[in-house]
Amino acid sequence: MNYDCGVVKALLNIYKPEEIAKYIRLSLADEESEKQKPTDESESVTNQRRLINSFIDRNGNIGANCKEFIDDGCSGTNFDRPGWNKLQEQMEAGKIKVVITKSLSRLGRSNFECSYFLDYYFPENNIRYIAIQEQIDTGNGENTNNEYAALNNFINEKYSRDLSKNIKRVYRMKQQSGEYMGGIPVYGYKKDPNDKHKLIIDEEAADVVREIFDKYLELQSQSAVMKYLTDKKVPIPEVYKGTRRGIKAKHPYEWNYHTIRSILRNQMYIGDMVQNVHVKKSFREKKIIKNDKENWVIVEGTHEPIIDKETFDRVQNLLDANFRQPTPEYQRTFKGLMFCHECGHLIGVGNPKRDNRPIEKQYVYTYCNYYRKNSAYNKCTPHTMNYNNLEDQLLSIITNVCNKYINLVGYDDLVENRKKTLTTYTTDLEKKVGRLEIDLKTIDLKIEKLYMDRLDDIITPDTYKKLTDKFEEQKHEMQKQIDELNQSINEYKENNKVEDLLETQTIVKEYLKARKNPPRELILKIIDKIEIHQDKTVDLHFKLKQLEEVV
């Protein structure tokens, strides 16, 4: 903590206070764990500010006058944070020369991204980075602590990874026991005021749910049910529940096809608890995706049903009978990735009309799903385009971006530096294992000598037992350390594979090799979504961050 040396003192003197940035971060998990820690170990914003100011004051500048950037309640597993983004803008504008954090974990808990900033971003932008707790200083080339930054980054990420696993494990156990672990319950239910993990019927909303089921059995059309509720001016679920989306709703009575379908398909209405339907892609990302149905957690009979089982089953049979599965030959490369820029809904791809030409040459058109299902309300516009021409245009754009990316990135140097880092830290750990194994053999020799001394009556049986018990205990502790070090080596190698660093390069080269006929699986690795404008212009959003930066 007391990182004071002449080099630091001298170098901090040459900066103006406004060129020094104090970066402070506190996540929700840190805030929660603070309650369990002594005051001097607190990660609070106040504590971090005081420690950094004190460090700057001791080393030749004025901490209170330096710039401060704060992210309060932001996870360290990614760098998409308001405070950090503002700091990064000023670094790239050349206004910041030094960045100081309390510790490396305050910079972030993503091994890859922290290593990127330390090894590439800071040096390229002539930024000096200091982590007080680990005594890391990129401005001091002779500081041996810098060599252990990568290992510390790995440990920080492992902490977040383990914490995420523990939380998921607890949630899963509670879900499997039938406890409700979500936020706002499904439309028709509310949380029991006496037990937030139990659901009770919300009678006003439940009446609407019953009406939806009854009307669907009567009309046998989801669109007809949708129009019936809209004409009757029944508030949509988001408005009724008072969610943020509902408060901002421009059309509070206009039901949509998706809402009707999700209600009709929801097993919660027959009294079964259905959870783990949506999950985060990883502990680093906020993005929520739909889980595979076999991984859902379903516990039967946990709450009072709104719909009886017989009615529910009749509705499911009718939905299945009315569902039309698209013919596989009409599946298109970019289908499911295209969205309407104006309304945000999916852009669909129509089926070609049968004629004598091959399917790939037949005219296929795009359309806005929201417009198609709500044309009676004059919502949005058709967004009709020749899909074949659009696909050629999109493939051409992706090819140009991939070529530009390959030309810009110097992979050889990047890989070589990662190999050196990997070798340095794994070698250090392997040396420790080697020394411990030698110590184990030494203890075995001592035990063997004790045994011979016992046979020769040089020591008593009691003394022999006490000494051998002591040595066996030492052996057990050493073996435990060896196992832990070997596990750390394996985990570090697993999480710092050069192959991971080159994932983008591999995908890009695969795409360029495929040329005009890339497989859809490859496109899904590259493209996040495509926005189609009303004027037929197109915006591509790449899943690979490196490609997004090239555009």
In a domain, 172, yes or no: no
How far does CA 445 lie from the centroid of its chain? Answer: 52
More confident residue, 56 or 415: 56
In a domain, 171, yes or no: no
In a domain, 144, yes or no: yes
Q: How confident is the model at residue 353 (pLDDT cuts 50, 70, 90)?
A: low
Could you read off the pLDDT of 121-179 as tens digits, one per residue?
898 889 999 999 888 888 887 787 877 777 776 777 777 677 667 777 877 888 888 88
Give the CA distances from residue 8 to residues 13, 64, 332, in Å, rounded to whole numbers and listed in that order.
9, 18, 60
In a domain, 170, yes or no: no
Work out the average pLDDT over 431-449.
Answer: 85
pLDDT of residue 258: 86
In a domain, 86, yes or no: yes
How many CA atoms lie within 13 Å of 499's alpha carbon, on the beta-carbon side? 3
Work out the average pLDDT over 205-213.
Answer: 94
Report the alpha-carbon distance of residue 354 to residue 200 in Å, rounded: 53
In a domain, 153, yes or no: yes
Q: Which of 41, 36, 90, 43 is nearest to 71 (CA)?
A: 43
Q: Are 190 and 258 members of one domain?
A: yes
pLDDT of residue 192: 92
Q: How confident is the model at residue 451 (pLDDT cuts 50, 70, 90)?
A: confident
Tokens 């030094």 label which residue?
98
pLDDT of residue 201: 94
Say if strands 366-368 and 347-349 run parallel, antiparallel, or are unpaired: antiparallel
pLDDT of residue 152: 76
Q: What's at 320, amino acid-wise?
A: D
Percent of the chain residues topping a pLDDT of 90: 23
pLDDT of residue 410: 57
Which tokens is 380 given? 């949005």
In a domain, 10, yes or no: yes
pLDDT at residue 411 is higher than 70: no
Could you read off the pLDDT of 456-486 as tens digits, one per residue?
788 888 888 888 888 888 888 888 888 888 8
Q: Are 137 and 195 members of one domain?
A: no
Residue 283: CB partners within 8 Å, gap ≥ 6?
77, 160, 161, 164, 165
Q: Are 339 and 458 members of one domain?
A: yes
Work out the average pLDDT over 377-398.
Answer: 86
Exposed, middle or buried, 157 (CB in 10 Å: 0-12/13-18/19+)? Answer: buried
pLDDT of residue 171: 77
58-63 CB contacts, 8 Å cutoff, 24+ apart: 58/4, 58/9, 59/4, 59/8, 59/9, 59/12, 60/8, 60/9, 60/10, 60/12, 60/13, 61/12, 61/13, 61/15, 61/17, 61/20, 62/17, 63/22
In a domain, 299, yes or no: yes
Strands (E), 161-254: 189-192, 195-201
Report the alpha-carbon angle 245-291-314, nearest 5.
Answer: 85
The CATH number assigned to the domain holding 256 equals: 3.90.1750.20
Tokens 């060129």 label which residue?
19
Report the alpha-carbon distance of residue 276 to residue 264 in Å, rounded: 19
Exposed, middle or buried, 496 (CB in 10 Å: 0-12/13-18/19+)? Answer: buried
Could you read off the pLDDT of 310-338 as tens digits, one per residue?
999 989 888 887 655 544 445 678 888 89
Out of 58-67, 377-386, 494-503, 518-527, pick the least confident: 494-503
Work out the average pLDDT over 422-445.
Answer: 80
Q: Are 315 and 355 members of one domain?
A: no
Q: Are 373 and 454 members of one domain?
A: yes
What is the per-residue burial (b if ≥16 Cβ within 10 Å, else e) of 274-303? bbbbeeeeebbeeeeeeeeeeeebbeeebb
Work out the average pLDDT over 201-213.
Answer: 94
Report the alpha-carbon distance of residue 346 to residue 269 in Å, rounded: 28
Q: Are 219 and 292 members of one domain?
A: yes
Say if strands 297-299 and 273-275 run parallel, antiparallel, or are unpaired: antiparallel
Q: Which of 307, 322, 337 is the last residue of a domain?
A: 322
Q: Are 431 and 521 members of one domain?
A: yes
Q: How confident is the model at residue 41 (pLDDT cuts 50, 70, 90)?
A: very low
Whether the CB-CB separation of 338 and 347 falls below 8 Å is answered with yes
Give the CA distances from residue 26 to residues 96, 108, 428, in Å, rounded to whole numbers and listed in that order.
22, 10, 32
What is the pLDDT of the chain when averaged over all its residues? 81
SS3 304: coil
Q: What's at 412, amino acid-wise?
A: D
pLDDT of residue 277: 82
pTM attached to this predicted model: 0.44
Q: Are 444 and 515 members of one domain?
A: yes
pLDDT of residue 83: 92
Whether the CB-CB separation of 546 and 405 falls below 8 Å is answered with yes
pLDDT of residue 1: 44
More confident residue, 85 or 352: 85
Q: Are 314 and 330 members of one domain?
A: no
Q: How confident is the model at residue 3 (pLDDT cuts 50, 70, 90)?
A: low
Q: Are 186 and 273 members of one domain?
A: yes
pLDDT at residue 34 is higher than 80: no
Name the residue range of residue 110's domain.
6-159
Q: Which of 322, 351, 380 is the last residue of a domain?
A: 322
pLDDT at residue 6 is higher than 50: no
pLDDT of residue 388: 85
Structural domains counted in the chain: 3
Q: Are 416 and 472 members of one domain?
A: yes
What is the per-residue burial (b if ≥16 Cβ within 10 Å, else e) of 92-126? eeeebbbbbbbbbbbbbbbbebbbebbbebbeeee
More confident residue, 55 or 293: 55
The CATH number assigned to the domain holding 47 equals: 3.40.50.1390
pLDDT at residue 352 is higher than 70: no
pLDDT at residue 282 is higher than 60: no
Radius of gyration of the chain (CA): 31
3-state secondary structure 273-284: EEECCEEECCCC
Q: Which of 27, 85, 548, 26 is nearest to 286 (CA)?
A: 27
Report the alpha-carbon distance of residue 70 to residue 106 in Å, rounded: 10
Q: Are 131 and 244 members of one domain?
A: no
pLDDT of residue 457: 80
Q: Which of 104, 124, 159 is the last residue of a domain?
A: 159
